Structure 1
Amino acid sequence: MTPAPLALPTVPDLWPDWIRERSASELARATELVDGLRTAPPADPVAVLRQWDRAAGHLGNVAAFGSLLGNVHPLEAARDLADAAEQEASKLGTQWSLDRELYDVFAAIDDSSVAHDPLAVRLLAKVRADFRRSGVDKDEATRERISAIRERITELDQEFSRVTRDDVRTVRVRPEQLAGMPADWLEAHPADDEGLVTVSTDYPDSVPVRMFAHDQDVRRDLTIAFLERGWPTTEALLTELFALRHELATTVGYADWPSYDADVKMIGTGPAIPEFIDRIATAAEEPMRRDLAQLLARYRRDFPDATEVPGFDFQYYAELVRSEEYDVDAQRVRTYFDFGKVRQGLLEVTGRLFDLAYRPVDVPVWHEEVTAYEVEQAGRVIGRIYLDLHPREGKYKHAAQFTLTDGVAGEQLPEGVLVCNFSRGLMEHDHVVTLFHEFGHLLHHVLAGHGDWFRFAGVATEWDFVEAPSQMLEEWAWHADVLRTFASDASGEPIPAELVAAMRAADDYGKGIYARTQMFYAAMSYWFHADRAGAEVPDLTERMIELQARYAALPYLPGTHMFASFGHLGGYSSAYYTYMWSLVIAKDMFSAFDESDLFAPEVAHRYRDAVLARGGEGDAADLVADFLGRPFAFDAYAAWLAR
C-alpha cells in the first residue's frame, strides 16, 4: 500500500500549532525507539539496525520540515518555530551520537549476523563510523564540549542563513537610467511618487539589470549592493563558525575541518581538495585567457585605456560579446521562455525521459503561489513535489531542493520542494537551466524514496556526487529538439533551432571564466576552514582578496565583502569544490547518451534505475560505474572545457 502524503495545515493560522505538534510527536517517537534500543534491543541484529534507522527517520522529519519552513514560510512566527524545531532535532541527534551506551549496542553486533543483508552490512558500517566521528570515545567533559559546539554550530548556521536571506538591499534610480532593460521588466517597475525606480538585490532584479542596463553607474551600484549583503553582521558569525568547526574536527582526531568533512566524501582527504582546485584551475587557464581577451577587446571599444574588465561590467559586456560575436540577443531569447510554458515543459520533458507523470493536486500549501503535483510511475503514486518558484519577503534567496519527507517503502512517501526565485513572466535562459538543474535534485529525491532504509533514501550519496545528476539534467535545457517542445514566443512560434545553436556556441564563451570563478569560490570555502590550523588566522576579507587574485578571472571590487553572503559557507562548509567535482562526473555520464535522441528509453531508464533510484545504497563511484560500465573519468570534462 502506498503511504499517504503528509497533511499540511489548511489555513495560515494553523501553521504554528502544526509545527509544534509535528515536531513534538516526531521527536517523541524517535526518543521512544532509541530508548528501546538502550533498554530492550531486539534479538535480531537487523531489527536493531531497523529500529535505529526508523528513529533517525523520525528525527530527520523534524530537521527536514524545520529547514524548509524556516526558509520559505511567509509567517515570521512560523519560521522561528521551524528554526527552533530544527535546532531541537540537531541537539537530540548530537546527544545520540555521543551516547556510549547506544554505541555499545552497535559495537556488540557480530558482523556475520547481518552478512546475509548487504544493505544492513552497509548501514552497520556507517553507523559505527558516525559514532567514531562524533567523539563517542572521548571522556565525559570532552563529549559535553562537543555537544555544546554542535549546538552552537547549528545556531550560527541558521543565523547566517537568516541574515543573508533577509538582507535585501536596494538602489533607487531615475527611469532613464534603466535604458536597455526589457519592456516587461520596466512595466513591472514603475517609478514611485518621487519619480525613482527601486531595484533590489533579489535575482529577478539584479541579474537582468547587471546584464542589460546601459548605465554603468547603475550596474556598479547594484553590484556593490549585491556583494555587500550580510556585511558586516555575518563576519563575526562566520569567524566563530569556522573556529568551532576546527575545534570539533581536531577534538575527534582530524588535522582540520576539511579533513574531517572529506573523510566521508568521494574525494577522501582534505589535502586532495586544493589539489583538485589547482587541477581545474590549470585546465581552465587557457580557456580563461581566451575568454578574457575577447571580453577586453570589446570593452576597449568603449574604454580604450582599460587593462581589465571590472566585475560590475562583466555580465553586461559578456552579453554584448554573445550578441555581437555569436548573434545571440538575450532579450530576444527570453521572449521564448514564458514562465508558465517553461514549468509545464520541464514536467513534460522529465516525464517523457524517465517515464513519469505529474498530476496537479489541490492541497494545502504555505503560500498561494506554490503548486503541488503527485508523481506517478506506471500508474502508481511514487511521491509528491511542491514548486515554490517566485521571490517574496522572508524567503530563501537562492535556488535549492528541500526535503519535506524522505521516502521508505510502505512507511513514508517521498515529498520534496523546489525553492527558487524566478520571474513570474519571461525568464532568462540561464534561469531555465537553473530550473532544470534543481529539478534534477527533486527527481533524485523522489525516485530514491522507495527502498527499505531511511539512511539510503533520496539524495543520500556522498556530498560531492550530489550535484552530478542535476548538472547532467541541464543538458536537456540546451538541446533544440527539447526546447522547441515548450519554448515559444507570444505568437506561439517555437524557438528557432539556429538560435539554440548560437546560444550553445555563446555559452561556450565564458566557461573558462566560469571555471576559474568557481575555483575561487572553492578555494575560499576550503582555505577559510583550513587556515584555522595555522599559527595565524588571516583576516577573512584579506584572504578573500588574495584567493580572488590567485584563482578568479575577474578583479576584486574594492571595498566589497562577497564572502559575507556566500551562503554555501554554511551547508557546504569547506566543500564547495563539489560543484566542479560533480560536473566532471556529470559530463562523463552524459557521454552515454546519444545527442541525436536524448529521450532514448534504454539509456534513460538504465540511468534512472542504476543511479537515481539507488539513492545511497552504494558508493557513488560504484553507481556511476554500474551505469557507464567503467569508472568515471576526467576526459569528457576536459574535452568540454577545451572546446
Structure 2
Amino acid sequence: MPNHSAPSAGDLQPVTLPAVEDLDGWNAFLDEQVLGGLERTKGLVDVLRGSAPGDPATLPRWNDVHVVLGNAFAVAGLLSQVHPDAALRERAEGYEQQLHELRTALMLDPEVYAVLEAAPTEGLPDGADRVLEDALLAFRRSGVDRDEKTRNRLRELSARGSDLGQAFSRNIRDGAGETRVPASALAGLPADYVESHPVAEDGTVTITTGYPDTNPFLMFSADREARHAVMHTFLNIGWPDNDPVLHDLLAVRDEQARLLGYDSWPDYDAEVKMIGTGAAVAEFVDRVARDATASAERDAAVLLERARQDHPELERLDVADARYYGEVVRREQYDVDGQTVRGYFESGRVRQGLLDVTGRLFGLEYLPVDAPSWHAEVASYDVVLVETGERLGRIHLDLHPRPGKYNHAAQFDLVRGVAGRQLPEGVLVCNFGRTRMDHSEVVTLFHEFGHLLHHVLAGRHPWVRFSGVATEWDFVEAPSQMLEEWAWDHGVLAGFAVDADGTPIPEALVDRMRAAEEFGKGYYARTQMYYAAVSYHFHAELPADLAARSRELSERYAVWGQVPDTHFHCGFGHLEGYGSGYYTYMWSLVIAKDLFSAFDAGDLFAPDVARRYRDTVLAAGGSRDAADLVEEFLGRPYDNRAFTAWLES
C-alpha cells in the first residue's frame, strides 16, 4: 500500500489493462486485482486492528482498507458484466462473493469498531470528521453492536443476499429472449433496421429483447399482433427463474432490517438518504402520481382516440400499444417522425458530439487513448482539465450490445480516484445501435455520461469514501438528469446532428421534438411511480404473489394496461441495485429541474454558471450533504417549484 507521502497528480498513471485477445492476461489481471486485493485488505485490517487508542494513523489506515477493497470490487463488478468470456465473468462473480464476505466480516468486527471509536481526527485532511461519523454509522447499520448470535445471523444473511442479488442480475443478463414475427411486421421500420434483420426461409424475422431491437420495433411496427408478441417476450425476461429468487431476496432484506431494529427494509434503506424514512417514500410516490394525473389522463385520451381510428373496439391502451401510438401522435400532430429524427443521429458523430459538448461546457479535453481493453469496440479517453492541463482520469465507452454483456445502460467504476494516489477511471456500459440512434437513446447517452463526469470530476478527494458518485443515493441521478437538457437544445444538437448530406438538424424540428416530448410527461410520471411503487411495496409488504401485486400496483399508478401473462418484476433489474429506492429517479428529477433553473436557457454554454456548477456540485462528490451543495449553487434551498411547473404545463 502506498505511504502517505504520495506522488503528485501528474505522476499518477491509469490502470494497465491486458490486450483484448489475451484471455490468460485477463484472468491474471482479475486474480491480481481481486484475489491480491483480498489479501492486501486482510493485511491492512490486521494493521488497523492493532492501532492504539488515539493513534493519528487510524483513520488513514481505514481509508487504505477501502481504497484497496474498492479497487477489487470495481474490477470484479465490471468484468462480471462486460467481459466477453463467460467463464471469466463467472469467476468474477465468484470473487465478488468473496469480497462481500470480507466486507461483511469487517463491518461486524467489534475490535475494528472499537479502534475507530477511539480514532482522532485532528491534523488530518478536511473531511476526517465526516469520514469517521459515516464509518461508525455504517458499522452500527451492519449490526456490530448486536450480540454474537445476531451478528452471525446477519453475516449469513449478507452472504445470502449477495448470492441472490447476483443470481437476479445474472438471470436478466443471460435471459435474453427473441420473437419471430412476419417479415411484413417490419413495414415502417427504418431502412438500417430492416437491413439488419434478414428474412428466414419461413418468411419471419427475429426480434431480440436487446434495446436496439425491441425499442424501434415497438415504436414503428404497425403490426399490433407482432408488437404484442415482442412486448410479451420482453416483459418475461427473467421469468420464471427470478420469481423465487426475488421472493428470497425480499425475505433476506426484511430479516436483516428487523434484526437491526428497523420496522422494514424501506425504513432501513431510507435512513441514509435525503428522504429519511420509508413512509416518506410512499408519500412521495402518491404525491407525484396525484400531481401527474390530470396531465396523464389528458394525453392518454389523445392516444386512445387516435388508436380507435385503427381499432374501434379498443377500450384502453396497453403497454404494447402506447409507445407505437405515442409515436403516431407525435408524427401526425407534432410533425415529428422518429425515423426522420433518427436520420440525424449517426452513432459515431453522436459520441464525438457528446465529448465536444461536455468538454466545452465544463472546460475539459478528451484525449483518445490507444490502450487495450476487454473488447475492440471500447473507446478510451484521458480527461484533462483545460484550465490547468491536469489529467483528471480516464473514461472507457462500451456502447454497443454483444452476447453476455450487461443489457441496460449504466456507469461502472474501474478505479475510484483518490487525491495523490490513484486517478479515477469510469466505464460507460450501454447497448446502442452501431449505425443510427433514436433521439431517446441520445438522451440516455447524455444521462449516463453525467454519471461518468461526476465520477471523474469528484475523483480528487483524499478520502475514498467521498470519491466520485458518493453522495446520497436519491441525489445521484440529479446531475445526470440535468445533463439531459443539453440533448434537447438546438444549439447543442446542431453541432453533431446532421443528415446524410451533412445538413444540421433544423431548429424548427428540434422545437417540435421538444413539444412532442412534453406530450405524455404525465403518463410518463405515472409509469415511473408504478415502478417506484413496485420497488417500495414489494420490500414493505413481501407479497406472496409478486405478479398479482405488480398488477394491482399497475392498476393503481400506471396509465396503460398490462400485457397478459407477463412478469415485469422478474426483469426489473433495479430491484437488485436500488432495492426499495427506485423513487430516487423522480426525487432526483425534482432537484434536477431546480438545478437547471440556474442556467440561461438561451445560452447553455455560458461558462460562469457551468464552471460554478462543476466545482460546487460535481467536484464535491460526497464531501458534503447534497442539500448543502445544491443550496450553495442555487443560493437557496432547493424546492419543487420548477418540477411542478414542468409537470403541470
1:180 equivalent in structure 2: 188
Q: 1:290 to 1:24 in 2, by over 3 A?
A: same
Give the stretch that moved more between structures: 309-318 or 384-393: 309-318
Aligned amino acid, residue 618 of structure 2: L
Corresponding residue number in structure 2 for 1:4: 13
**Alignment partners' CA distance in 2, 1:195 and 1:282:** 47
Correspondence 1:37 to 2:35: no
Q: CA deviation at 1:559?
A: 1.1
- Contact kept in structure 2, 1:20 and 1:81, CA below 8 Å: no
User: Which one-letter code corresponds to 2:357 in the other structure?
Assistant: V
Specify every segment of 5 or more residues in structure 1 that has no aligned partner in the other structure, as ranges: none
CA contact (8 A) 2:125 2:462 kept: no
1:499 aligns with 2:509: yes
Stretches of structure 2 lacking an aligned partner (at least 5 in a row)? 1-7
Cα deviation, residue 194, structure 1: 3.8
1:353, CA displacement in angstroms?
Answer: 0.2
Counterpart residue identity of residue 105, structure 1: V
Cα pair 1:525 1:576 within 8 Å, conserved: yes
- Kindly indicate whether the alpha-carbon contact (under 8 Å) linking 2:359 and 2:366 is maintained by their aligned counterparts in 1: yes
Instruction: Report what 1:90 is aligned to.
Output: 100
CA–CA distance in 2 between the matches of 1:304 and 1:220?
A: 18
- Deviation per CA, 1:570-618: give whole Å up to 9, x if none: 0000000000000000000000000111011110000000000000000
**Which of 391, 402, 409 is the matching residue for 2:401?**
391
**1:617-628 equivalences in 2 (<5 Å):** 617-628=623-634
In structure 1, C-alpha distance between the alignment counterparts of 2:356 and 2:548, rounded to whole Å = 48
SS at match of 1:301: helix
Following TM superposition, by how much is the alpha carbon of 1:42 offset from its aligned partner in structure 2, in angstroms? 8.0
Taking the TM superposition and a 5 Å limit, the aligned residue runs for 1:270-419 are 270-378=278-386, 379-419=389-429
- Contact kept in structure 2, 1:390 and 1:423, CA below 8 Å: yes
The 8 Å contact of residues 115 and 121 in structure 1, kept in 2 or not, is answered as no
Q: Does 1:152 align with 2:144?
A: no
Give 1:432 shift: 0.1
2:122 corresponding residue in structure 1: 114
One-letter amino acid matched to 1:588: D
Among candidates 525, 528, 533, match of residue 518 of structure 1 = 528
Q: Report how many aligned residue pairs link the two structures.
A: 636
Corresponding residue number in structure 1 for 2:30: 19
Alignment of 1:33-72 (within 5 A): 33-41=44-52, 43-45=54-56, 47-72=57-82
TM-score, normalisation: structure 1: 0.97
Equivalent position of 1:478 in the other structure: 488
8 A Cα contact 2:53 2:118, kept in partner = no
Asked whether the 8 Å contact 1:391–1:421 carries over to 2, the reply is yes
- Separation (CA, whole Å) in 2 of partners of 1:31 and 1:23: 12
Which one-letter code corresponds to 1:291 in the other structure? D
Q: 1:484 to 1:42 in 2, by over 3 A?
A: farther
Per-residue CA deviations over 1:114-155 (Å, capped at 9, x if unaligned) read: 387651111111011011111011111211111111011111
C-alpha displacement of 1:44: 3.8
Aligned-pair CA distance for 1:231: 0.6
Residue by residue, what CA displacement relative to the aligned partner does 1:451-477 show, whole Å, maximum 9, x if unpaired? 111000000000000000000000000
Q: Is the 8 A contact 1:405 1:414 kept in 2?
A: yes
Amino acid at match of 1:20: D
- After TM superposition, the runs of 4+ consecutive aligned structure 1 residues lying more than 3 A away are 40-45, 113-118
Q: Which stretch has the larger CA shift, 134-143 or 629-638?
A: 134-143
Whole-Å Cα distance in 1 between the matches of residues 308 and 440 of structure 2?
26
CA contact (8 A) 2:59 2:119 kept: no
How far apart, CA to CA, are the structure 1 residues paired with 2:620 and 2:546?
40
CA distance in structure 2 between the aligned counterparts of 1:258 and 1:367, rounded to whole angstroms? 39
- 1:612 is matched with which residue: 609, 618, 643? 618
State the shift of 1:262 in Å: 0.3
Identity of aligned residues (%): 55
SS in structure 2 at match of 1:383: strand
State the alpha-carbon separation in 1 of the partners of residues 492 and 561 from structure 2: 37
**1:194-217 CA distance string (max 9 Å, x none):** 442111011001000011011111
Aligned partner letter, 1:281: A
Change (3 A) 1:40 1:109: closer
Task: State the distance in 2 between where 1:115 and 1:631 align.
Answer: 32
Q: Identify which range, 169-178 or 400-409, moves more after superposition.
A: 169-178
Distance 2:463 2:530 in 1: 38
Deviation at 1:305, TM superposition (A): 2.8
Report the residue type matching 1:34 in the other structure.
Answer: V
* 2:132 paired residue number: 124
* Cα distance, 1:227 vs structure 2: 0.3
**Residue type matched to 1:8 in 2?**
L
- Give 1:65 deviation, angstroms: 1.2
The one-character-per-residue Cα deviations of 1:405-451 (angstroms, maximum 9, x if unpaired) are 00011101100000000000110000000000000000000000001
Distance 2:43 2:114 in 1: 18
- Residue type of the alignment partner of 2:539: H
Question: What CA distance in whole angstroms lies between the structure 1 residues aligned with 2:307 and 2:152?
Answer: 58
- Alignment-derived partner of residue 539 in structure 1: 545
Paired residue type of 1:160: F
CA–CA separation in structure 2 for the residues paired with 1:538 and 1:592 = 47
Matches within 5 A, 1:198-277: 198-277=206-285
Q: Report the residue type matching 2:458 in the other structure.
A: A
Aligned counterpart, 2:641: 635
2: CA distance between counterparts of 1:571 and 1:78?
Answer: 22
